[in-house]
Amino acid sequence: MRALDIAGTGMQAQQTNVETISNNIANMTTTGFKRRRAEFQDLMYQDLRRVGSNSSDSGTVVPSGAQLGLGVKTAAIYRINEQGNLTQTSNTLDLAIQGNGYFQVTLPSGDTAYTRDGTFALAADGTIVTADGYAVAPGITVPTNAENVSINASGQVQVTVAGQTAAQTVGQIQLAVFPNETGLDAKGDNLLTQTTASGAPTTGTPGAAGFGSVMQGFVESSNVNVVTEITDLITAQRAYEMNSKVITAADDMMQTLTNLK
């Protein structure tokens, strides 16, 4: 009874679908989060009658054949990299990217990670860091006597110190873009790392061709659309229920066979 196994793969696929949707909803308020979408593929087919085979000695050919599918499998869980809404926080070191690009973060291991979460702060030595204390590349330090910090759309970090009227530039934020953003590996903590699939990053100044601009005092909200997620959740739930009905129907058919005398 192939229907049992086929419906079982359908239930497993919809379970993955629901888990993906639940993760989206759980992160609906996570800064810089990009929603995911599960993609599925049909499994292999059994040829009950092979298409194109000869149906007689005179050379007649079977026009369509008879193939029986064996279910469904998870092909990928894509990251949807569309822009999230920008929320004003008025916090000096909150930064949002309007357009393409990722902030670069230096991990304790020395490796570089990438993020759209621009919720930054100052370390004890004045270095601009993430919420976990990781330095924002290329390592910008704000003087301890700075009275005002200004970051323009091009990523220039300028400060005004006591006793001076002119602002001085203390660093330049660089953004990174990838040939395939979906290929980045999510590590948690709003951090992504480079993979073979993502390709090598290209770094540049915010506002340059192909790079987004930086907005001070804003953060990028999650791009999760709650209405869409709830609709998809209902669809996945109904699909799961229908696959369970197939298992029930197959069980009833097997019970009918066992009751034959």
pLDDT in tens, 217-239: 999 999 999 999 999 999 999 99
Which residues 6+ apart lie within 8 Å of 119 measured at CB?
A: 31, 94, 130, 131, 219
Over residues 24-46, mean pLDDT:
94
List 158's β-bridge partners, or say none: 150, 169
- How many CB atoms within 10 Å of residue 140? 19
Omega within 30 of 0 (cis) for the link into 138: yes
- pLDDT confidence of residue 173: 95
Supply the mean pLDDT for the chain: 92
What pLDDT score was predicted for residue 200? 96
The pLDDT value recorded for residue 13 is 96
Task: Give the pLDDT of residue 60.
Answer: 81
Q: Say yes or no to pLDDT of 130 above 80.
A: yes
Q: What is the pTM of this model?
A: 0.87
**Is a pLDDT exceeding 80 seen at residue 259?**
yes
Please compute the mean of the pLDDT values over residues 51-67 and round it to a whole number: 79
| Residue corresponding to tokens 């599960």 | 38
**Which SS3 state, helix, strand or coil, does residue 136 take?**
strand
Mean pLDDT of 239-244: 96
pLDDT at 66: 83
Percent of the chain with pLDDT over 70: 100
Answer whether residue 167 shows pLDDT above 90: no
pLDDT score recorded for residue 35: 96
**Higher-confidence residue: 21 or 58?**
21
Three-state DSSP at 220 gives: strand
For residue 147, name the pLDDT band (cuts at 50, 70, 90).
confident
CA-based nearest residue to 44, from 88, 2, 87, 103: 2
Mean pLDDT of 144-169: 88
Q: How confident is the model at residue 65 (pLDDT cuts 50, 70, 90)?
A: confident
The confidence band for 57, taking pLDDT boundaries of 50, 70 and 90, is confident
pLDDT, greater one: 1 or 76: 76
| Average confidence (pLDDT) over 168-177 | 94
Rounded distance between C-alpha atoms, residue 95 and residue 141, angstroms? 16
The pLDDT of residue 31 is 95
* Residue 52: predicted pLDDT: 78
Q: Would the pLDDT of 83 be above 90?
A: yes
